[in-house]
A and B are shown apart, each in its own frame.
Chain A
Amino acid sequence: MPSPLVIGRSAKAKVGAKCSAGCDLTGHEIELLDGTGRVIARGRLGGEVLSGTSGLHWTEMEFVAPSAVGAHTCTATLVHGEARLEFTFIIVPPPECSVTIQILEQRTNTPLPDVDVRFGIYRASSNEHGRANVELPRGNYTVNVWKMGYQLFSTDIIVTGNQTVDVALVKELEPAQPYWM
């Protein structure tokens, strides 16, 4: 389930279900309800079990993101039975700017892929060229750039238009045996 979602735009969620008694849930109907209980999407569980699970049937459901900006809680229900699950996402206004973050490894000056970038609630990951793109409204943002094994890079940025931000990540040095002597 991605987050944030842009107000009024189409969005997708994957929903899965499993029967504790081992029933085959293929074809069983799933509903998505918004915060008011209104059904915003319907779907049927597929016949294929999700990879890595022992019996979780799933489907992808498309719906229109709610029309109010802010945090939303939706509910997925399995019509045949009592299963229900709440999940959350954030609705944001349409983006105004595109910010590209170019991430390099500081020592080697080479692009770093798979780096997680957070502009407040907006998120992206860098591609094989070390570039991540975030589309967002103008405003003040706290930016966190992090990849496992590297020190967190954190800064505040005022976004006024399309722009590029260069970030150099420093490898985290982990002592081999910090405690046990």
Chain B
Amino acid sequence: MVALRKLHGGCQSHKMFTRRTHLDVNCSPSLLRGSKNMADKKQHFNPSRRRFIKEGAAIGVGSTALAGVAAQAQTRWDRTADVVIVGAGASGLPAAIMARDKGATVIVLDANHDIGGHAMLSGGRVPLGGGTSMQKKYGIADSADQVYLDHTNHKNSEFRYCDRDLVRMWADENVPTFEFLIQNGVKFNDEKPDFVNGGTVPRLCVAQVFSPNLNETINGRPGSGIVRPLEKSARAKGVEILLRHRMTAIIRENPSSGRVLGVTAKFENKDVNIRARKGVIIATGGHTSNVAFRRMFDPRLTDEYQVAGEPWTKQNADGEMLAMAIGASLWATSNQSNDGGRAVTKTRHIGVRYGYENLRWDPQSPMFEKAGGSGLTVRSFQDLILVNQMGQRFWNEMDNSYAFLSACLGTNGNLGRNGKSNGGGPVWAIFDADAVTREQWDPQPPNVDVNGWFFSADTIAELAGKIKNPYQLRPISADVLQQSVNKYNSFVDEGKDRDFARPMLMYKIQKPPFYAAWSTPILHDTLAGLKINTKCQVIDRNDQAIPGLYACGESAGGFALHGLPRVLVFGRVAGREAAGAS
């Protein structure tokens, strides 16, 4: 079937793109339950807080200006604990438990309405080795030395640029961290550990989903089996968790010298000053959602790129920016753009904004309204072509390498005359009714988000006119899109992709209706962050430890290992070291 569109000058109208109005997700009452509070209660309230912030050094990126401030004689503390941890995710929670185990009083803040960070949505995969109890149970021999060697292999671009002192410490702490997780309620599938990350020894264990209750797990992912048990253990041990508290300042004795004394957080538009007798731990989850910050590492990553884990949480660089405001340094920054890790990923659930390949939003999730749709899961990219913001094919759609991602992030026909030259622009999957049949898709809500991320039409020309999205800077030309489809179809006839050498061409795009689905790459890992030493102390620009300031998780730099194994270990170590500080 070939489909034409009859042209009527001036009689065509387009429905204007309207942004979906999202509702806030209400917090489950069970998530706000009280806890045994071992942290000290409110001491003072400071009515002149606004003036106080203004007097400090400030750095602002994004919607909220964030300040690093110097303590002054009139500082009034609303709360006090030995250790104050910012971020209740896969790094902050182990830090909290470990600090509490060492006898410290602990307050944990989180900007979100619930704990977990983006680890809540993770696959719960924990490849820790060196001789864990699970490895021993299945007769797997391993050692810390082998863990170290596997994660410092110079042939691996994800490990090549890392701080090997940090990797060594991490390797040595693998076993105690794995056992710590089990002791604090994490349940792993009782299966033989598997190989992962190019390791020479099986190490991968996967956590069990915490419960069938989506209000607890948010999207039913195994990551809930990490953070919920840790939350439970932390609360039982007396850790106080303050939700909806977004850190807005780190308070130091002097703007760039002296000890870190505490933090300021914003709660219900009020400032709360929280004193930390021993240390503040930054565990805020990284920077990937902060466009200005991420572009320091890769200028191509402009506004159009969504982040895995959004809209549940944002990796907004709060910790990094506030620590930098009091003198902290970044570390191993090349890790963020090493073209080997998962800083940028190919989408797999198309037709929605948040289509990260291993995260399909459940329509029953309490976050679904914000997620907007589940996405059409692509089983084979043979069933579609990908076109850029101009409506042109730009690469072999079957490619899963960084060469594909670099093509997505390329100029893509944008000559840069509009001041928006850096991003690669939207990528749209174009397919037809036959593809829908082959893939067994149901191309309608809740599977797709028709508010700017998915379009359908009876002809290719009509489809081009319908594509309207905040990041589509100009309309796609009907002629250009039609030519792209025609050319691709002729390549299918010939069995040869003369433009991009796609290895196998199976299907024409020819049966109406036709579809366009958002398929723009998705950002994921924060792989560079604050400079830390092996005690997780934050290091300043003069290479000196900042007294009383620690960092862990994706906000800490130096080790580009993806996911939970890095952040769990560094969190536990940061908690231990902060609690032990004098």
Interface: A166 (CB within 8 A)? no
* A16-B512, A180-B563 known; A85+B482 contact, CB < 8 A: yes
Measured CA separation A84–B379 after assembly (Å): 34
Interface stretch, picked from A36-44, A104-112, A132-140, A146-154, is A146-154
* A18-B5, A88-B493 known; A53+B358 contact, CB < 8 A: no
Q: Which residue of B lies closest to A154 (CB)?
A: B504
Asked if residues A149 and B2 are in contact (CB atoms below 8 Å), the reply is no
Within 8 A of B (CB), among A69-114: 71, 73, 76-78, 80-90
| A16 partner, pick from B3, B308, B345, B495, beta carbons under 8 A | B3
Within 8 A of A (CB), among B405-449: 433, 438-439
Q: How far is the CB of B333 from chain A (nearest CB, A)?
A: 23
Asked if residues B342 and A179 are in contact (CB atoms below 8 Å), the reply is yes
Measured CA separation A90–B462 after assembly (Å): 27
Measured CA separation A95–B110 after assembly (Å): 71
Interface stretch, picked from B42-50, B121-129, B153-161, B385-393, is B121-129
Measured CA separation A145–B125 after assembly (Å): 35
Asked if residues A13 and B2 are in contact (CB atoms below 8 Å), the reply is yes
* A1-B1, A76-B4, A87-B2 known; A21+B11 contact, CB < 8 A: yes
| A53 partner, pick from B8, B124, B380, B458, beta carbons under 8 A | B458
Measured CA separation A61–B55 after assembly (Å): 79
Interface: B506 (CB within 8 A)? yes
Interface: A157 (CB within 8 A)? no
Interface: B173 (CB within 8 A)? no
Q: Which residue of A lies closest to B124 (CB)?
A: A181
Measured CA separation A149–B439 after assembly (Å): 11
Within 8 A of A (CB), among B449-465: 458-459, 462
Interface: B564 (CB within 8 A)? yes
Measured CA separation A77–B380 after assembly (Å): 34
Q: How far is the CB of B272 from chain A (nearest CB, A)?
A: 34
* A52-B513, A55-B458 known; A178+B358 contact, CB < 8 A: yes
Q: Looking at B1, B126, B357, B489, which has the most chain A CB atoms within 10 Å of its CB? A: B1
Q: Give chain A residues whose Cβ lies under 8 Å from the Cβ of B5.
A: 17-20, 83
| B1 partner, pick from A19, A21, A58, A82, beta carbons under 8 A | A58
Asked if residues A87 and B489 are in contact (CB atoms below 8 Å), the reply is yes
Q: How far is the CB of B146 from chain A (nearest CB, A)?
A: 19
Asked if residues B6 and A71 are in contact (CB atoms below 8 Å), the reply is no
Asked if residues B458 and A120 are in contact (CB atoms below 8 Å), the reply is no
| A144 partner, pick from B4, B504, B512, beta carbons under 8 A | B504
Task: Please encode chain B, from 531 to 547, with 1 for each CB lying within 8 Å of some chain A CB and 0 for all others.
Answer: 00000000000000000
Within 8 A of A (CB), among B166-213: 196, 204, 206
Measured CA separation A90–B494 after assembly (Å): 7
Interface: B80 (CB within 8 A)? no
Interface size class of B (residues with CB under 8 A): 35 or more
* A20-B6, A20-B11, A88-B493 known; A52+B512 contact, CB < 8 A: yes
Interface: B510 (CB within 8 A)? yes
Within 8 A of B (CB), among A143-181: 144, 146, 148-149, 152, 177-181
Asked if residues B8 and A20 are in contact (CB atoms below 8 Å), the reply is yes
Asked if residues B2 and A85 are in contact (CB atoms below 8 Å), the reply is yes
Interface: B164 (CB within 8 A)? no
Q: Give chain B residues whose Cβ lies under 8 Å from the Cβ of A65.
A: none
Interface: A6 (CB within 8 A)? no
Q: Give chain A residues whose Cβ lies under 8 Å from the Cβ of B513.
A: 52-54, 56
Interface: B366 (CB within 8 A)? no
| A17 partner, pick from B3, B123, B204, B562, beta carbons under 8 A | B3
Q: Give chain A residues whose Cβ lies under 8 Å from the Cβ of B379.
A: 148-149
Measured CA separation A165–B570 after assembly (Å): 58
Measured CA separation A50–B458 after assembly (Å): 9
Measured CA separation A179–B379 after assembly (Å): 16
* A56-B459, A146-B506 known; A16+B493 contact, CB < 8 A: no
B residues near A (Cβ < 8 Å) are 1-8, 11-12, 122-127, 196, 204, 206, 308, 342, 345, 356-359, 379-380, 382, 433, 438-439, 458-459, 462, 482, 486, 489-490, 492-495, 504, 506, 508, 510, 512-513, 524, 562-565
A residues near B (Cβ < 8 Å) are 1, 3-4, 13-21, 23, 25, 50, 52-56, 58, 71, 73, 76-78, 80-90, 116, 118, 120-121, 144, 146, 148-149, 152, 177-181
Closest 5 CB pairs of A and B: A181-B563, A181-B125, A180-B358, A88-B490, A177-B123
